[in-house]
Structure 1
């Protein structure tokens, strides 16, 4: 069990790409870095770097990563060692470091899928074809599409200041189709209304 949750010295996005390019799973950069890859420049400082993989491919990822890294499952505010052969069915979040004493290097988020479709964990009626959730930079770096990443940020129980700033930074660059998908998805998750839905409506 580790409690040093603020002990972050994240590796760089190119370093993450070098790690995952050797692993035969579907993956992409997520979080704030995904939005910056879409924007084409770094818009703010990032405290960590997130990678998305499919829940069904987690044991393959573990097999490759555990050769060089120590992996911890993060759930209910606790960090516990992820053991070999352990399938994480409820945990969505994995923290990775070189060893049990070294700083956190990157974070893995497990996402659910059904056949060839991505499923949004907070509202399972929201889904997209797997081929339509990942974009790539001109250098070939895969990242989660901006409207999906913004759904994760805006669909959280609390919109943090950095998430609000990310939304305001990225929104002007979204295509009409991306804006409409984000609005429609948020209306499904929040039928009672959401400030981002109002913003999209008022900024067509």
Structure 2
């Protein structure tokens, strides 16, 4: 699915290609976004305008070393793009990085940076919300790591675009009791007790 942006077109690489590209990476990474929900659900159910990969901020330079020929741009400040230089440590306010094979090529993959502290993942919108790193993701039968659906839905809860609502509905049956309880608690904390998803989760 090709989409246009002010910084050039997005033409996300297929999921299998992204997994192959990142296989040499020896630091943790997780498929994120809508693909993470599809991996949790076990089937494809919508189109994707991009492909997202979550990294821990502390490991950001590892992906540059694994993909040395990529052209990297950072959302700094958010809402704009500027080149991410080789070996540069990005400032804390930068969470999104776009990558493409070279100038004039479509953007192919987006990396997101999240923080970790004392063995916990820290939700960047509300540092009160944490989760042990070992619970942050899951792994498919074929070895593909992906972000736990309850964590991905927490990120989607604020915007609630049509695709986010679609992801929420698809993920509900696979959340599990612990996932539902955690998502209900964290949405309520971050977005308020009146959030529609929190109400749905409490009702099911």
Equivalences for residues 162-181 of structure 1 within 5 A: 162-181=163-182
| Aligned length in residues | 198
Normalization by structure 2: what TM-score? 0.92
Q: Which runs of 5+ in 2 are unaligned?
A: none
For residue 200 of structure 2, what is the aligned residue in structure 1?
A: 199
Task: Give distance in 1, aligned partners of 2:7 and 2:48.
Answer: 15
Shift of 1:152: 0.7
Shift of 1:192: 4.8
Shift of 1:101: 0.9
Superposed CA offset, 1:105-149 (max 9, x none) = 010000110031100001101111111111011111100000011
Moved more, 164-173 or 4-13: 4-13
8 Å contact from structure 2 (residues 22, 66) kept in 1: no
Give the 3-state SS of the residue equivalent to 1:78 in structure 2. coil
Task: Give distance in 2, aligned partners of 1:22 and 1:4.
Answer: 32
Q: Is 1:17 matched with 2:24?
A: no
Normalization by structure 1: what TM-score? 0.92
Q: Note the aligned Cα RMSD (angstroms).
A: 1.4
For residue 188 of structure 1, what is the aligned residue in structure 2?
A: 189
Equivalences for residues 95-174 of structure 1 within 5 A: 95-154=98-157, 156=158, 158-174=159-175
Relative distance call for 1:116 and 1:81 in structure 2 (3 A) is same
Shift of 1:16: 0.9
Shift of 1:88: 1.1
For residue 72 of structure 2, what is the aligned residue in structure 1?
A: 71
Task: Give distance in 1, aligned partners of 2:108 and 2:194.
Answer: 37
